[in-house]
A = this chain, B = another copy of it.
Amino acid sequence: MNYGLIGASGKMGQEIIKYFSEQGHTAVFTLDLDGMRQDGIPEILLDFSQPQVFDTVLYYVEKFNCPLVSGTTGLSSEQINLLKKLGDKIPVVQSFSYSKGIQVLLKCAEILSSDLPEWDTAISEMHHRHKKDQPSGTALMIKDALKKEVPITSQRLGHIPGDHTVFFAGSGEVLSLTHSATDRRFLAEGILQACKFLLTKQSGFHTYKDVVFGG
């Protein structure tokens, strides 16, 4: 597979290049703060950059007329709506997290929120000091799954790849559901899975949930 990658020099971009290369896939187009490099026409485009580059992403999707895997965190709801419209023409997967563990966490968080409506609920997340958006995109996905307003606390320290916890507190008992990432390689696996899923589609806006559970 020949792919394009916007945000190639970021932490996630580097992990994608390394893992995809091991799996026999070639980055024929990359774009990042250091400039643009093109060696061919990508069959699929991956965006793991910053929200402010969003228009550039749309420009290249139209130019290459190829599927898009969007993983940039911090996108606004307007930007996500534009991706949904884009899905009318080309296949799109958008997610703030390509972790299978996060997908099943979201499923359980929804059940817990529904079964324990009177319990107090809260989210906390911790990431490495270089993470720019706060709260994390994953924390926002968890809040959506809970279907109610909950406080979110964030810490930025060290090199922590990413920890998320959702708490449910009743009278005398506390349930917590925690996801900890220890590296980023497994995310690259999830992203490759999303690419393969898209290459079988003609169009449509999808989330990573669709990739994991079908849909």
Contact = CB atoms under 8 A, between A and B. Distances in A.
Interface of A: 99-101, 104-105, 107-108, 111-112, 115-116, 119-122, 124, 126, 129, 151, 153-161, 167-187, 189
Contacts of A184: 172
A158 B181 CA distance: 12
List the number of copies, as a whole number. 4
Contact of A172 (B105, B129, B177, B185): B185
Nearest to A181: B173
Contacts of A104: 111-112, 115-116, 175
Contact of A173 (B99, B120, B167, B175): B99
Given A158-B171, A160-B174, A173-B179, 17 more contacts: A100-B170, A101-B175, A104-B115, A108-B112, A120-B129, A120-B156, A124-B153, A124-B155, A158-B174, A159-B172, A172-B186, A173-B182, A174-B179, A174-B180, A174-B182, A176-B178, A183-B183
A22 to B, nearest CB: 14
Given A175-B104, A175-B105, A176-B178, A157 B121 contact: yes
A107 B101 CA distance: 17
Contacts of A187: 172
A171 B157 CA distance: 10
A187 B174 CA distance: 13
A183 B15 CA distance: 15
Given A157-B120, A169-B159, A178 B175 contact: yes
Contact of A170 (B119, B158, B167): B158
Contacts of A172: 159, 181-187
A176 B108 CA distance: 11
Interface centre among A120, A155, A161, A189 (most CB of B within 10 A): A155
